[in-house]
Amino acid sequence: DSRYPRDGRFIEEIGTYNPLVNPVEVNVDKEKVLKWIKNGAQPTDTVKLLLKKNGVL
């Protein structure tokens, strides 16, 4: 979405990622992710990998 810069303000938070704990902590709101993808959002390859590992995709 071009409304905000890539590293700037977010439109909606759909989860969190904490690489500092062992094992890595990933929390994702599956319903929000699927809503955004249904509406045309295209996750990056890295995000796709994280979503697949968490059973969202």
pLDDT category of residue 12 using cuts at 50, 70 and 90: confident
Query: Is residue 8 pLDDT above 90, yes or no?
Result: no
Which residues neighbour 50 within 8 Å (Cβ) at sequence distance 6 or greater?
Answer: 17, 26, 28
Query: Is residue 38 pLDDT above 60, yes or no?
Result: yes
Average pLDDT, the chain: 87
The number of C-alpha atoms within 13 Å of 57 and in the hemisphere containing its C-beta is 16
Q: Cβ(35)–Cβ(28) under 8 Å? A: no
pTM of the model as a whole: 0.70
